[in-house]
Amino acid sequence: MRVTLEDRFRSLLLSWYSKNARILPWRINPSLYKTVVSEFMLQQTQVKTVLPYFERWMHLFPSFKALSEAKESTVLMAWSGLGYYARAKCLHECARVFVKDPIYSYQRWLNCKGVGNYTAAAVASIAFNEAVAVVDGNVMRVLCRLLSVTELFKTKDAAVKIIRPIANQFLLKTDPGKYNEALMELGAIVCTKQKPHCEECPVKSCCKSYQKDTVHLCPHFVQVKRTRCKIQRYWIRDTHAFLLEPSTVGRVFQGTLRGLLELPTMTPQRLSAIGVGKLVFAGRRSIGTKDFTEQIYLPRKKINLESLILLPEFSNCVRVTFDQQQYLAFTGPHKHWISKFLQSNKF
């Protein structure tokens, strides 16, 4: 019988994966719930970032039922720092749907609000062995390189359109869950975006871009234009507390960061109320195609926070004591910066 490229690829891939799969918490005593939570967390996020969040999440919400009964603010607090907060809200919503009417197929997962093809395919194949191919950034990269696809893609969606049929053609229908996991694993640790490890790659003998020396050309995306923005903020504290406000960046980005807290922005009204003192920090963050530089200033003089929040300019702000902060949901960068400020205790 003729051995096809697909057969060779699958066999090399799975034999490599059986010896090299990373031991990850959601792979130990796997369950549908662990698979769903990990796949939501892993969307556009690296495994090493997800690990501490996953452990804490399982402790706080050990089941669909526990998650469905949690308040949104508690869910956001547990997600705080992981980014792309819409995922947390959708996962919370999915748990509520699941508790009422358990979901067991790709199509039904796809019908859940906020669940895209990637998550639906990953969950259905890994948890239910449904023969549906996962197409994420890792999979696209490996398959483009494997077949030396050098065509220029204008968007990620355009690339998915081309790669999905290929992914389905390569899928191991008898063990789709393991195959999908193996392919994503290869993309994550061997066929990486920058500097792929071709010499150690288990599938190099059937990789067309390796043979043709076109690895650096695949996949080929149009460069997205990025915009730079500047935001000025205040760090206002007293001996017990500091000031926060609901994310204003979230308003710009259609509520993505709704419900999360950040340091208050410096508006003209606030500037005339409390002036501006020393610049204490400048940090960077990126959301979508925007790159933000955030400059954080002290007020001109010492402020009494309790009186300050009575002023109309600060009416949307909250005074947060040092003890309360662990129960609140911050955006990732602000959580990190505030903890640095408090540790240094310089200002």
Per-residue mark of binding to ligand SF4, 208-247 (x: CB under 6 A): -xx----x--------------------------------
- State in angstroms the smallest separation of the CB of 198 from ligand SF4: 3
Active-site residue, 93 included: no
Total of chain residues touching ligand SF4, rule CB under 6 A = 15
Distance CA 210, CA 250 (A): 43
Chain centre distance of CA 290? 16
Binding residue for ligand SF4, selected from 201, 231, 266, 287, defined by CB under 6 A: 201
- Of the candidates 39, 130, 245, 294, the residue annotated as catalytic is 39
Q: Which is nearer to ligand SF4, 184 or 207 (CB)?
A: 207
Residue spans of beta strands (DSSP E) within the chain:
152-153, 220-221, 227-234, 241-246, 261-262, 279-287, 290-297, 318-321
Binding residue for ligand SF4, selected from 78, 172, 203, 261, defined by CB under 6 A: 203
When asked if residue 147 is in the footprint of ligand SF4 (CB under 6 A), the reply is no
Find the largest Cα–Cα distance for the chain. Answer: 82
- State in angstroms the smallest separation of the CB of 208 from ligand SF4: 8
When asked if residue 167 is in the footprint of ligand SF4 (CB under 6 A), the reply is no
Backbone angles phi, psi at 238, to 5 degrees: -125, -155
Distance CA 115, CA 23 (A): 26
Binding residue for ligand SF4, selected from 142, 231, 274, 305, defined by CB under 6 A: 142
When asked if residue 76 is in the footprint of ligand SF4 (CB under 6 A), the reply is no
Structure tokens at 47: 């495994």
Distance CA 85, CA 69 (A): 19
Which residues does 10 contact at the CB level (< 8 Å), separation at least 6?
170, 172, 179
Per-residue mark of binding to ligand SF4, 100-139 (x: CB under 6 A): ----------------------------------------
* CA-based end-to-end distance of the chain: 74
State the catalytic residues: 39
Q: List residues near ligand SF4 by CB under 6 A.
A: 142, 145-146, 190-191, 196-198, 201, 203-204, 207, 209-210, 215
